[in-house]
Amino acid sequence: QPRQNDDGRRLRLGVMGGTFDPIHHGHLVAASEVASVFDLDEVVFVPTGEPWHKSAQEVSPAEHRYLMTVIATASNPRFTVSRVDIDRPGPTYTIDTLRDLREERPEAELFFITGADAMAQILSWKDIQELWSLAHFVGVTRPGHVLENMGRDDVSLLEVPAMAISSTDCRERVADGDPVWYLVPDGVVQYIAKHGLYADAERSAQKPA
Ligand code: ATP
Ligand code: MG
Query: Does residue 117 lie in a domain region?
Result: yes
pLDDT at 203: 44
- Taking the CA of 165 as reference, the closest ligand is 1
CA 10/CA 198 separation, integer angstroms: 41
Query: Does residue 192 lie in a domain region?
Result: no
pLDDT at 125: 78
CA proximity to 41, closest of 74, 73, 80? 80
Query: Does residue 125 lie in a domain region?
Result: yes
Q: Which of 29, 142, 169, 188 to mutate to test the pocket of ligand 1 (most atoms within 8 A of CB)?
A: 142
pLDDT at 202: 47
Q: Which atom of ligand 1 is nearest to the CA of 25?
A: 27
pLDDT at 206: 56
Phi, psi of 181 (to 5 degrees): -50, 140
**Could you report the average pLDDT of every consecutive run of 10 residues in the chain (209 residues)?**
68 97 98 98 96 72 97 98 95 94 97 93 81 94 90 90 98 97 98 94 53
User: Whole-model pTM?
Assistant: 0.92
Note whether 70 and 47 are within 8 A (CB). no
Range of the domain at 85: 11-164
65 in contact with ligand 1, CB cutoff 6 A: no
Note whether 95 and 131 are within 8 A (CB). yes
If one counts the domains in the chain, the total is 1
Query: Does residue 43 lie in a domain region?
Result: yes
Query: Does residue 18 lie in a domain region?
Result: yes
Query: Does residue 33 lie in a domain region?
Result: yes
CATH code: domain of residue 158: 3.40.50.620
Query: Does residue 189 lie in a domain region?
Result: no
CA proximity to 197, closest of 173, 168, 171, 167? 171
Query: Does residue 94 lie in a domain region?
Result: yes
Q: What's at 165, amino acid-wise? A: I
149 in contact with ligand 1, CB cutoff 6 A: no
Q: Quote the ligand 2 centre to 168 CA distance (angstroms).
A: 8
- Summarised one tens digit per residue, pLDDT across range 34-89 is 999 999 999 999 999 987 666 666 899 999 999 999 999 999 999 999 999 999 99
pLDDT at 5: 64
